[in-house]
Structure 1
Amino acid sequence: MTNRQEEIEARKFEKINTIIHQNSEEASLFVAKEIAQLIKQRQKVGKKVVLGLATGSTPTKMYEYLVRFHKEEGLSFNNVVTFNLDEYYPMQPDSIHSYVRFMNEHLFDHLDIKKENIHIPDGALPKEEVRSYCERYEQKIKSFGGLDIQILGIGRTGHIGFNEPGSTISSKTRMVRLDRVTRLDAASDFFGHENVPTKALTMGVGSIMDAKRIILMAWGEGKSDIIRQAVEGEIKESVPATFLQRHDNCDFILDEASASSLTRINTPWLVGECEWNDLRIKKATIWLSHTLGKAILKLTNEDYNEHGMGSMVAEKGSAEDINLKVFNQLQRTITGWPGGKPNADDHNRPERNTPFPKTSLIFSPHPDDDVISMGGTLLRLVDQGHEVHVAYQTSGNIAVFDDEVIRFMDFASDIQNENKSLKQKYREVRDFLNHKGAGETDSLEVQHFKGLIRKGEALSACRYCGVKEENAHFQNLPFYETGTVKKKPYSEVDINLTKDLLKKIRPHQIFAAGDLSDPHGTHRVCLQIIYKALEQLKNEGAEWLKDCYVWLYRGAWQEWDIADMEMTVPIGPKDMRRKKNAIFKHQSQKDSAMFPGSDEREFWQRAEQRNQETAKKYDALGLAEYEAMESFVRYHF
């Protein structure tokens, strides 16, 4: 079989061409280069380029590259005409939530594009004018010869633009009612679900399908399932992105995480022959056990043969040999001693038995991620005598409701009734919050008070878990302190603050949030800062790093795949209750969180279910049955 034939065979489940890059930066550069190349080609022959553009976090890096091409390489945009996909309704163009403002800040203000060539749906129109406006928008696109390239993201419901489930393939630019999931996903940008508009103006699926070329971009594990449905599933109105299968010039540009559920990536043995390394053997065996509902040690040669893994058995030995090898690998990840068990053979244990006790440093992106994501492990480390430090990387202030500030200031005001400066401050804060608009950025003073609320809650949780107050470190990394969901890029200041803390503590083990699917991006940035700090310390010759293990946990959004887990810590019923009590100390996040993401349950409920599901998965594979489990992957730097 030729390489071309092998490539076709590997993609036999895919109905849309997919191009997978290692990360979103590489993928964004790839798309930006294609756009730049078309602009240059058209400039040579004196023609315009008509681009359909999208908003949201997905295309922002691509826009950064286009701006860089303009500023550093002289790429002109004077022959470019743009039409944006959508806009919330109603929405004033100068609102901090408007897509007009988004596009100006991320792209148009930095280019030489002609203002008259920029077209964005008008969310400020009177309702009675919307229909005729949408018809004119369609005609305007046609007057320029149609869209040369349409850029798309994809929502978790499979929407493209704001074409929600139920949209037809012939739909045109119109007003739509937003799906509940779409509004939940947008809640963080609007500081609460209740502030998200219920309607929007959007190009239709038919408008998108008329484009000469379509490029859909997606990043992160959180998009992997909907990408699989769009690329491999049947065409259906309930997943509008599947209509793109009918376009003859459409590519999905993905990073490895968003492509991870595609059959050729997730279960390559189902599409043809594959190389069998240890990780793939482990992954395939776990998959087969789950698919058949059989414990690993019960799998047979016939089971493997009938599910595309006959070559693995032929190459690696009998089913019994493979089963036992994978079972033992999984068994060795389980430990009740996350800091290492003293005076025990640690040859097959995830952590070393020496030194004991260890100094453990837990990095928590927000002031509650430590107890939500690894509260059981934290308690175990403290109970077993390790010196536990917690570094709260950001203040988490934007996640505090306004009435929490008033509640705390009422308390302070009653305690210090005669303190005139406090009374004055109280009046100023009340006046600001009383006149604050929906989604308006807090004053610096209110941001500070919200940060103090979360700091107090974190200290309370530390005391409950037995962590010394002096071992709670509040970094307040500057990249976060904008008062809005949109953060600044991290800088050397953030890295140096992290380096200074690491040099001061010199931990034997580090725990950090590896939850790259965090929809708000803070976890991702916090992890990058830690990686940079470790890299610089290593280059500076920090000897203590040679004896330091780095363990990554997942946050409230997603859990590690069983095949990737390298340390799993069992949690009994008593410790699960203690973990939940520690989460309850974060009262400002209790009952209703400011940014719940796609899951409206409380964080303790999500954490409990996730930990219990991990235990159930281990049990189903034939291992010991536990109440719950927290899992970790080791980072080798």
Structure 2
Amino acid sequence: MSRISHKKAGTNEKTRFEKIHTEIMDNSVKASKAVASEIASLIKVKELQGDPCVLGLATGSSPIKVYDELVRMHKEEGLSFKNVYTFNLDEYYPMQPDALQSYVRFMKEYLFDHIDIPKENIHIPDGTLKQEDVYAFCQKYEQRLEELGGLDLQILGIGRTGHIGFNEPGSSVNSRTRMITLDSITRIDAASDFFGEEYVPRKAITMGVGTIMKANRIILMAWGEGKANIIKRTVEGPVTYETPASFLQNHPNTTFVIDDAAGAELTREKTPWLVGTCQWEEALTKRAVIWLCQKLEKPILKLTDRDYNDNGMSDLVAERGSAYDINIEIFNKMQRTITGWPAGKPNADDTYRPERAEPAKKRTIIFSPHPDDDVISMGGTFIRLYDQGHEVHVAYQTSGNIAVFDDDVVRFADFVKDYSEAFQLEDKVAKELFDRITKQLKNKKPGEVDPKEVQKIKGLIRRGEAKAGCRYVGTEVKSHFLDMPFYETGLVKKKPIGKKDVQIIVDLLQEIKPHQIYAAGDLSDPHGTHRVCLDAIFKALEELKNKKEKWLKDCWVWLYRGAWQEWDISDIEMAVPISPEELLRKRRAIFKHQSQKDRPLFPGSDSREFWQRAEQRNRGTADLYDKLGLPEYEAIEAFKRYHF
């Protein structure tokens, strides 16, 4: 098992820009197990000493796998929590403990109900108090913590604003447990859990920065590309009230444990040539040259020896001979990523093309996590694949039923009723459906799970829109609705991926035996569905590989990114130019998803509509290619190949 080291920040050349000791691990599973191992060791040491072990606990997605591992260690290895006292960081206010969004409920579901911790040892801020009683509660919270000797270990996540706990920007380094007003960005990020921003509480009770800073040991965890920018700002930036997590630079025993994606913006990862000697392999050379172009605002072929030497890349020039040779090499590599034939150009030399010429007509599957990711993320390429005569299948992995407004359900139920009356159908089922649905939705509380019938109707609405999108692209496009079981909870929080989810993918792949697979590699999706859907595809491919399926040798996998983020230009391996006409067709295909038009239920932090995000991102990619000195296009959709 991986271990967390206790080195100080900036103790070697690679980490000299970092002011907090940061451990980067391959993935969140390995990292979470390392954190859980340290917690377990601390519990055991304290037990041997006859002392209580006082833990500060966090909620959210970051610590879930840590809690899973602690539960496993309790059940399989006999790890006892009888000497453990816990203090949770925060709770929404007001909040009932049994509400879906309650952190009391969260902690019970993920940890407390599965271990032997005494109930009286559990401390969580109380969201049911009268407002005038909150101050006294917070004082007692701090007092009880001090009576136990303070926190032995505090685990943290980090918000996009840099908040720890609910200590929003502006929080004092000396702040204690108190009620605070939530930042608008925090409320937007929480909107999906509450089925709408308007239902997110405006206040919360949180442990203060000063309380956190008094912990003997602090571990902060962050996973995914979405946390990369705030991690860089916290670890390498100045200590500032605008980024409360930056106060941790002044804590003597803090470690950030992050995965590769969350560490992507740190200097040692993004621009390692600035912190030491590099092994200039192909991918790093390409990344460095593009970085230099963007920094100096120069096209590739105009870079000089001095440009390289003045920006920490003199050893690259020394190794390769001259800037001219490097420039030509990288220019050619970037030019060869561009193709108007995403499934290969028939009867053409494919030596330097991203895709194979043969077979001339390919079977292609586009996996779409939600019922609109296909057209939002790669609609132009989807259109081109169909227009160029390939057999195109679209596999919609989930129903997308939680992302539909209640008003749309009533509208469709009303249509069924009116249809029945207009054609004088005697069946009363339609009217009963309308009456039942409107009653169910009228009685539904904010944030409450939809009844199964409503979930089904919402799923059918999304399915109908997906079919309309496919028909707009072409009548012979084949759509498959997989309705993977992990998604069907009625909540933003989903079940873990299971064997049934993977088997559904395996069965479809076996049926079609595709030459090409397109899948969403957009792991910054804030709701996690894209990540799970991609994991299911990878597991299915691994299973088929183990079965030695012959067709798999001729199958290539291309990853696209969606509404949240684009590939870094240095990672792009296939760039498909989109003409003005194709961009308009893509927009119209997106418009077929009417329930997501104007104002989607879960827009994330970006207020733009999905078609606007997609077009601006595609135009932005084309602009980057243009600035590198490559051909100028209206828009470009980008892909990275996955090798399995």
Question: What does the per-residue CA deviation read over 1:457-487, in whole Å, with 9 as the maximum and x for residues that have no partner?
Answer: 0000000011526x10001111111111111
RMSD: 1.3
- 1:166 counterpart residue number: 170
TM-superposed deviation, 1:292:
0.4
Aligned to 2:463: 455
- Secondary structure of the structure 2 residue equivalent to 1:175: strand
1:383 aligns with 2:363: no
Aligned to 1:517: 524
Match of residue 545 from structure 1: 552
1:439 pairs with 414, 429, 447, which one? 447
Cα distance in 1 for residues equivalent to 2:389 and 2:357: 13
SS in 2 for 1:333: coil
Q: Is the 8 A contact 1:388 1:467 kept in 2?
A: no
Amino acid paired to 2:333: Q
Following the alignment from structure 2 to structure 1, what is the Cα–Cα distance between the partners of residues 392 and 465? 18
Counterpart of 1:421, as a letter, is V
- Report what 1:304 is aligned to: 308
Q: Secondary structure at the match of 1:189?
A: helix
String of CA shifts for 1:254-273, please: whole Å, max 9, x gaps: 10110110001110111121
The 3 A distance-change label for structure 1 pair 6 and 132 is closer
Return the letter of the residue paired with 1:447: Q
Match of 1:288 in 2: 292
For the 8 Å contact 1:342–1:356, the answer to whether it is kept is: yes
Amino acid at match of 2:438: R
| Cα distance in 1 for residues equivalent to 2:588 and 2:546 | 41
- 2:4 alignment partner in structure 1: none
* Deviant stretches of 4+, over 2 Å: 3-7
- Structure 1: how far apart are the matches of 2:179 and 2:241? 18
**Which of 546, 559, 562 in structure 2 is aligned with 1:555?**
562
Aligned: 1:622 with 2:629: yes
Contact 1:86–1:162, Cα closer than 8 Å, also in 2: yes
Residue identity matched to 2:466 = A
Helix, strand or coil for the counterpart of 1:490?
coil
Residues 8, 21 of structure 2: 8 Å contact kept: no
1:382·1:467 contact (CA, 8 Å) conserved in 2? no
- In the alignment, residue 19 of structure 1 is paired with which amino acid? E
**Residue 473 of structure 2, aligned match among 458, 465, 473:** 465
Q: Find the aligned partners of 1:511 and 1:497 in 2 and give their Cα distance.
A: 17
Which of 515, 532, 544 matches 2:539? 532
Contact 1:316/1:322, CA 8 A, preserved across alignment: yes
TM-score (norm 1): 0.98
Q: Contact conserved, 1:176 with 1:200, CA < 8 A, in 2?
A: yes
Supply the AA of the counterpart residue of 2:433: K
Alignment of 1:419 onto 2:423: no
Q: Distance in 2 between matches of 1:149 and 1:406?
A: 50
- State the Cα deviation string for residues 437-464 of structure 1 (Å, max 9, x = none): 0110011111100000000000000000
* 1:555-574 → structure 2 map (5 Å cutoff): 555-574=562-581
Deviations 1:54-75 (A, max 9, x none): 0000100000000001000000
Between the aligned partners of 2:248 and 2:643, the Cα distance in structure 1 is: 40
- Secondary structure at 2:364's aligned position in 1? strand
Task: Say which SS state the counterpart of residue 151 (structure 1) adopts.
Answer: strand
| Correspondences of 1:233-244 after superposition (within 5 Å) | 233-244=237-248
Shift of residue 598, structure 1, vs aligned partner: 1.5
1:537-582 superposed Cα distances (whole Å, 9 cap, x missing partner): 1211211111111100011111111111100101111111110110
Moved more, 424-433 or 332-341: 424-433
Equivalent residue runs for 1:62-101 within 5 Å: 62-101=66-105
The one of 330, 333, 344 aligned to 1:326: 330
The structure-2 alpha-carbon separation of the partners of 1:123 and 1:5, relative to structure 1 and needing over 3 Å to count, comes to closer
1:134 & 1:468 partners in 2: Cα distance? 63
Residue 6 of structure 1 deviates from its aligned partner by 10
Which stretch shifts more, 284-293 or 596-605?
596-605
Q: Which residue of 2 aligns with 1:500?
A: 507
Find the aligned partners of 1:293 and 1:164 in 2 and give their Cα distance. Answer: 36
* Cα separation, 1, equivalents of 2:278 and 2:361: 45
In structure 1, the gaps of 5 or more residues are: none
The answer to whether the 8 A contact 2:24-2:263 is kept is yes
Deviations 1:187-234 (A, max 9, x none): 111111111111111011111101111100000011000000000000
The whole-number CA distance in structure 1 between the counterparts of 2:427 and 2:413 is 13
Shift of residue 419, structure 1, vs aligned partner: 2.2
The 1-side partners of 2:21 and 2:540 are apart by 38
Q: Matched residue of 2:192: which SS?
A: coil
Q: Does 2:487 match 1:483?
A: no
Match of 2:365 in 1: 361
Distance 2:78 2:475 in 1: 56
Kindly indicate whether residue 603 of structure 2 is the aligned counterpart of residue 603 of structure 1: no
What percentage of residue pairs aligned between the two structures are identical?
64
Q: 1:587 to 1:233 in 2, by over 3 A?
A: same
State the partner residue of 1:43. Answer: 47
Unaligned runs of 5+ in 2: 1-6
Provide, for residues 289-347 of structure 1, a one-character-per-residue CA deviation record: whole Å limited to 9, x for no partner: 00000111000000000110000100122000001101110000000110111111110
Whole-angstrom CA distance in 2 between matches of 1:628 and 1:234 = 38
Distance 2:229 2:51 in 1: 40
**2:550 partner amino acid:** E
Instruction: State the distance in 2 between where 1:195 and 1:624 align.
Output: 48
Distance verdict in 2 for CA 1:194–1:5, change over 3 Å: closer
Match of 2:620 among 607, 613, 620: 613
Equivalent residues of 1:360, 1:386 under 8 A apart: yes
Amino acid at match of 2:627: A
1:142 corresponds to 2:149: no
Task: Report deviation, 1:422.
Answer: 2.2
SS of the aligned residue for 1:165 comes to coil
Structure 1 partner of 2:400: 396
Alpha-carbon separation, structure 2, partners of 1:15 and 1:436? 49
C-alpha contact (below 8 Å) 2:10/2:17 kept by paired residues: no
* Alpha-carbon distance between aligned partners in 1 of 2:141 and 2:300, rounded to the nearest angstrom: 59
Partners of 1:389 and 1:467 within 8 A in 2 = no
Aligned pair count? 634
SS of 2:527's equivalent in the other structure is: coil
Determine helix, strand or coil for the equivalent of 1:483: coil
- Counterpart amino acid of residue 510 in structure 1: I
User: How far apart, in 1, do the equivalents of 2:27 and 2:320 lie?
Assistant: 32
Matched with 1:430 is 438
